[in-house]
Each structure stands twice: as structure tokens, then as C-alpha cells.
Structure 1
């Protein structure tokens, strides 16, 4: 039987590393678009990225540009929810749960955190891509080490559960950033690039870029690991493995029930109607992620989470805030 504090640490390590990875991906694509397209409204685009990532936007009178965007999302150590802050949080959770993580996992997180300063220095000389590539590569290394060096027992399942729930949330954020775009807009490609899905998508659909196909791939694809459906299935499988005993009627756990409903809502959805009510469907899935997080916390960790991801709709409906609550 795993201690609740260790289970919680592994769950949040999975979420923090996944979120840092996805934020680096989204920011990298956004910066390239802003710098390469002279028609882009830089202030509006920067604020949109910050909102989509659930971070606090600068005041209306403060100009938003690439430098401010990168500082706020990536480098700022004092900013709650920045990439540096997330990696620090993952490292601290690993420090407190050394008995249930492998030495290689700890060394990866510790080395990653200690290398952030040097990566930032290189990025300030050569461009943000240096820092963001460092984060993406280290996140991939951590995922590989966790898979290869951690026993695939309950601890591993908590790690995958956290990673999968966060992946659902971040994929939805990527899609929400393009909700309302015209069907033929080239901006849909940015969703695929942000998710590392561009090459796989082109091979699957033979090069056809279409909003319906992009949504079908990112929401419903059974084989692509960053699709919403696949991540929900991974979360549901690992949560069901954590259940200790059969249930005579329905799902034992509230979290398992919520995941099953979300997975079923996508599994039997006609791909031809994905654009209809897209934003509402995505926001409902985000609400499910928040509810699953609360249910997992209440059932397995027995304490209020010291960090709660919460979604707050702003006036234009675009999304999403992170709130920190104290114990």
C-alpha cells in the first residue's frame, strides 16, 4: 500500500512535467508565428497565448510582445505557472518522494532544474528556441526514464494518471486557441505542430489540412498518444488498475465514472459534427479534467490539493486560469 503523500507526489510530478513540456511546445510555435508573419497583431497574439495557457495576462496598459511573452511563460522564477516554476515544483515533489522514484528519475529532474539558468543564458543570446528545446528534450528523457526504471506498479500508475489528465487539458487548450477559426485557416496547422502531431497527421491523412480532419485526429484518434481520446483511455486504464476490488454496479470511483463518461462521449461521436458546438464541448471536457482531479485527490490523497487547476471563463470565452490554494 503506497503512502498517500508519495502517491500525490508522483501524480503531480506527472502533471508538472507534462505541462512544462506542452507549454514549451505551444510557446515555441507561437513565437515562430509572431516573428515570421508581419501581419500578426503581436499584442493580441501574445495575450491570447497567455490566456490559453491559463496565466495572468498583463494589465491593459502594458504592451505585450515576444520578450514579455517569453519572460512570463518561460523564464520568470517568481511567476506561478511558468515553465521554470513547474520544473521546480516537479523537482521538489521528487525530492520528497525519493523512496518511490528511481535514482535516474531524480537525477534527470535535478539536472534539468540546475541546467535551466544556462539554457536561459543561451536562449537570450540565440533565441527562445534554445531554452524551449532544452525543456522538451529533458521532459522526453524523464518520460523514458520513468518507463524504463520505475516498476509498473501503483506508483507508475499515479504518474501516468497525472500525465494523462494534464495531457487532455493541454490538448484542449491547444484546440481552444483555434476555436472560431475558419475551416481552411492555416492556423490549424499550429495545433498539430504544438502537439508534435504534424508529421503523423500528414501520413494519416495524406497531406490534407482541414479543420475537421485536425479535430478528428486531435480529439478522436485511437493511436496517437497526444489525442484527447487516447489520453483519456490511458487515464481510465491506470485508474481502474488502482481500484482494489470488483464493483457489483457501475464504477467504484467518482473519478473513474467521470473518465468513462468523457471517453464514451468521444468514442461514439460522429467525426462530421466536430465543429458544431466545438467550444462548448471542449470546455465541458476541461470541466471533467478539473472534476477528475478533485475526485482523485479526495479518494486517494485524503487532503486538499496544494495546487488546484481551475478554469475561469473570461469575457470573450477564451479560457482559462490557474488558481493556487493554500492548505
Structure 2
């Protein structure tokens, strides 16, 4: 597979999942403001932008409308929902010959329909629609593409982005200003799964453990890291007798092992720091994957005839 095609497929997975994860983050803020109207909206909003999403320094003047402008409707920002949909569509256009017709159509249609929802306010209609369309893209990719290298690059990007975004959401529940764990569970689509697993008994500790360390819930941090590691093993089976030539897999495996084999109480006692380490590991692994699979010569451009 050409490196440029693999690169586009990887980023399709990341951008679609980023739109979904960002919608969940903003919805967490929206629901927390509804749940506790007495809380300081400006402080909570600025902490989301500056403390969790890492945009700017914490600004006490920022409110929910500014969060919506920067994280939902800014098409020029690939970390915002609009920007993520646009970037996913552009990458899908570049890899058009590799994608199924159905997958291209759902990504293209989603971008155009998103623009028709309006940009006045980030409502439940906007945020719920993004989650539904992201799930639709994942489902159509699953049933209309051969599960070959192209499929694995999409899934690899999705798993890396999911680990990062779930880590950010989990970190909000562990902070003093953060929403309740019930809101965090709902934002991750984990409330019903958690209720069935724990037979109706939910505590802050069990909710944090479920979203960060559970092996069977696909949106948990640990499960996402495991899936990304497994995709790398499929793309390039390891034949090294000593160490790892795949730096991305080594980084992910080290982070996954640190979570999986550590005492859960130790992980949960230092949850914000642990989740920051996950984000750092995802960033480093993504760079290593790019160095291994996506590096190529500069794209040649026509410059005109020299006389």
C-alpha cells in the first residue's frame, strides 16, 4: 500500500473518532452545567479548554458559547468537530479508490449535513448527531471493507484517538470542578454497560476503574490501547528476537502494561496524572507510526517551464 494512502486511512480513523470524542467532551460540560446550575460556568468552561483540551491558558472569561465556537464550529481547526469532519472528508477523498463506495458516501454526506445543522449553539441535537454519525461511519466501514491492511490502518487511528479522548474525559471526573461520574459514564456511552457489569451498584471508584482499566468495554482506555497494539502486530508481525523494531508498538505496550499490571488502587489514586501519561504515550506512538509507515519523498509539484 502506498504510504500516502495508509496515512489518509489512519487519519480518517482518527478524525472521525476525534469528532465523536470532542462531542462527548462538550456534552459532558453541557450536562454538568444542567446538573449543577450553581457552578461557575466560566471557570468550568475555561478548565475544559485550557486544562483538558490544552488549547490556551486558563481564561476565567471563557463561557460555554466560546467552548462551542472553538471545539464545535471552527472548521479551520482540525481538533474541533467541524474541522475533524472536514479533514476526514479530505482524507477520504485522497483515499477514494481504497474506500468502499458506501463509506465514502456516508463521510461525504455527513460533512454536508453537518453544515446544515446551523452554528448558533452546540445543542443536544448537534452533539448527539455527531455521535450517531461517527458510529454509522464505523459500522459501514466494518461491513463494507475487507479486513486487510487498509481496514487496520483505519482501526489503528480510531483506537489511538479513542484512548486519548477517553483519557481526557476520565480526567474530568477526577477533578474537583468536574462533573459527576454518572455524567462522565453517560458521555462515554458506558452507563448501561456499567450497570449490567456492576449489577446496579456504582461508586466513583468503580466508574473510574471501568472507564480506565476494564478489558471488555471497548471505549475504556485500556481496551483502546490493547486494540491499537493488536493492529500494529497485524500490520507488521514482530520477528525480533530481542527488543522491538516497532517503536510505536513498544510505546503502546509499555503504557498498556503500566495500567494493566499496576495495582488498580495506585492507578485510581493518581488518575489525572495517569491519564496525562496516556495522552503523552498516544502522541509519541502516533509520531513513531508516522515515521515508520507514512514517510515519503516530498510531493512533486508543477512549477512551469523554465526558459
Same-fold call, TM cutoff 0.5 = yes
Structure 2 contact 46–59 (Cα < 8 Å) conserved? no
What residue is the counterpart of 1:309 in the other structure?
none
Q: Please give the alpha-carbon distance, in whole angstroms, between the structure 1 residues aligned to 2:54 and 2:114.
A: 20
* 8 Å CA contact 1:55, 1:81 repeated in 2: no
Q: Is the 8 A contact 1:15 1:163 kept in 2?
A: yes
* 1:79-114 deviations in Å (ceiling 9; x for gaps): 452100110000000000111111111101100000
Matched, 1:217 2:215: no
Measure, in 1, the Cα distance between the counterparts of 2:159 and 2:51: 19
Deviations 1:276-307 (A, max 9, x none): 33232222222111110011000111159xxx
Offset of residue 202 of structure 1: 1.4
- 1:202–1:264 CA distance, 2 compared to 1 (3 A): same
TM-score, normalising length: structure 2:
0.89
CA distance in 1, matches of 2:201, 2:11: 38
Residues in 1 aligned to 2:167 and 2:281: alpha-carbon distance in whole angstroms: 12
Question: Equivalents in 2 of 1:4, 1:285: separation in Å?
Answer: 27
Render the CA deviation track for 1:202-254: whole Å, top value 9, x for unaligned. Answer: 11112333222122111211110001111111111110011156222233311
Q: Distance between the aligned counterparts of 1:163 and 1:283, measured in 2?
A: 19
Unaligned runs of 5+ in 1: 305-327
The one of 257, 262, 265 equivalent to 2:255 is 262
1:36 Cα shift? 4.1
Name the residue aligned to 1:289.
Answer: 282
Query: Shift in Å at residue 59 of structure 1?
Result: 8.1
Pairwise CA distance, 1:196: 0.6
Q: Distance in 2 between matches of 1:264 and 1:189?
A: 28
Residue 133 in structure 1 maps to residue 128 in structure 2: yes
Q: 1:111 to 1:279 in 2, by over 3 A?
A: same
| Structure 1 contact 5–301 (Cα < 8 Å) conserved | yes
Distance in structure 2 (CA, Å) of the matches to 1:186 and 1:24: 16
Structure 2 distance, partners of 1:303, 1:269, is: 39
Instruction: Tell me the secondary structure at the aligned position of residue 64 of structure 1.
Output: coil
Residue range with higher mean Cα deviation, 66-75 or 49-58: 49-58
Change (3 A) 1:186 1:58: closer
In structure 1, distance between residues paired with 2:50 and 2:15: 18
* Counterpart residue number, 1:16: 15
Tell whether 2:138 aligns with 1:143: yes
Is 2:206 the counterpart of 1:208?
A: no
The yes-or-no answer on 1:230 pairing with 2:229 is: no
Change (3 A) 1:29 1:178: closer
3-state secondary structure, aligned to 1:39: coil
**1 CA distance for matches of 2:269 and 2:55?**
30
Structure 2 spans left out of the alignment, 5+ residues? 298-307
Alpha-carbon distance in structure 2 between the residues aligned to 1:278 and 1:59: 21
Count matched residues: 297
Superposed, 1:1-327 pairs within 5 Å as 2-52=1-51, 54=53, 56-57=55-56, 60=59, 63-120=61-118, 124=121, 128-181=123-176, 187-243=180-236, 246-302=239-295
Root-mean-square deviation (CA, aligned residues, Å) is: 2.2
Q: Secondary structure at the match of 2:166?
A: helix
Asked if 2 retains the 8 angstrom alpha-carbon contact of 1:212 and 1:274, the reply is no
Separation in 2, partners of 1:22, 1:300: 25
Note the C-alpha offset of 1:119.
1.6
